[in-house]
A and B are shown apart, each in its own frame.
Chain A
């Protein structure tokens, strides 16, 4: 049964002022030859292939971050987003947090405390399927130990309504690599599905060299991209850079999302990377989360940026 989601209702319920991110396409809807001809992907395992659905990406919530000049609402931002999701009548099939759930701390006990507080807030989403991957703030100082205790394995895969989803960990190694063991697992995992099954990848860092001068890269990301390249329809959603960025490597699309705590400047736009100060005239500007409807026929509905409710 195909069910259409009412985007206007979702936007209304979450108090959205956000716009459409890009008009290109996702899963199996990419322009095949530049002549307007569309090629349909095959349906993969899991769920009901071909059925419409949407999910939410929330990233870089940095729970524990405290700097009123950057975000005087740091204690409420995550709660506002969770509240909006909870109150919406339209429920996502799942919510994924793509890393930096917590702001880093050198104190292991404090890290666990922040993760515990984060879980307590997100518990409001009880009844929804909530998934996680770590960011370097969560996992790089203890190789993911506290994250695993709180949220489970740092990488994995699942199938949903004909789409194959991969959660990739490129932060538990403090040198920002995926590592040979995980790459071998990725290859083995992808070998189980047809080359035309749509694949959606979640990572924290970009898998390509977005701006290595600011550490916006994954050192062995090219090996992952190479492994993914055998598949026809691959879309990567990531965080880390605290802003939207849309990039293509070969056939693979890479889309970063805004942070749910503070924005960062455009790559290379300032001499030193630092959070963008809060603009009292435009509260929560540059902060938000994202709704993704992979199979939406209307390109304007496929990825929609959602703002933090102001009240």
Chain B
């Protein structure tokens, strides 16, 4: 019986963390917000410049259909549904160029739907 509150607490904490990762709410004041649009078959901007150590929220909006956004080297991934912006909150911890791509097959130009996150010092 005594373990139940602990388990419930852990479950709530886990749920909160997950919500924070996948569907974060409004950006905190110190965070930089970068708005990115997705449509067949491009992102705008396709090159996203960030600074190492600066907290950022990528606010992703689809202008037509469901797309994906995956940057494997940074461990970032979400789906972007039309009319329902997705947000990815993170702190870049390494300098470099990190490719991202649409990972939800979206049509004849899908494989060209790519971009890069550039993290500057």
Contacts and interface: CB of A to CB of B under 8 A. Distances in A.
Contact of A136 (B66, B101, B105): B105
Contacts of B66: 174
Contact of B107 (A106, A212, A213, A272): A106
Nearest to B109: A106
A243 interface: no
Contacts of A104: 105, 107-108, 110
Nearest to A107: B108
A176 B70 CA distance: 12
Contacts of A106: 107-108
A215 B107 contact: no
B104 interface: yes
A104 B105 CA distance: 10
A174 B73 contact: no
A285 interface: no
B45 interface: no
B72 interface: yes
Interface in A177-227: 212-215
A213 B117 CA distance: 13
Interface string A264-306: 0000000011000000000000000000000000000000000
Given A175-B68, A273-B111, A213 B99 contact: yes
Contacts, number: 35
Nearest to B70: A212
Contacts of A122: none
A206 B111 CA distance: 17
Given A175-B68, A273-B111, A215 B106 contact: no
Contacts of A273: 111
B72 A212 contact: yes
B102 to A, nearest CB: 8
Nearest to B72: A212
A311 B80 CA distance: 48
A211 to B, nearest CB: 9
A105 interface: yes
Contacts of B68: 175
Interface string A246-259: 00000000000000
A208 to B, nearest CB: 14
A232 B104 CA distance: 34
A272 B114 CA distance: 9
Contacts of B103: 175-176, 215
Contacts of A141: 105, 107
A136 B108 CA distance: 11
Interface of A: 104-106, 136, 140-141, 171, 174-176, 212-215, 272-273
18 contacts: A104-B105, A105-B108, A106-B108, A136-B105, A140-B105, A141-B107, A174-B66, A174-B106, A175-B103, A175-B104, A176-B103, A176-B105, A212-B70, A212-B72, A213-B72, A213-B99, A213-B101, A215-B70
Closest 4 CB pairs of A and B: A140-B105, A212-B72, A174-B105, A106-B107
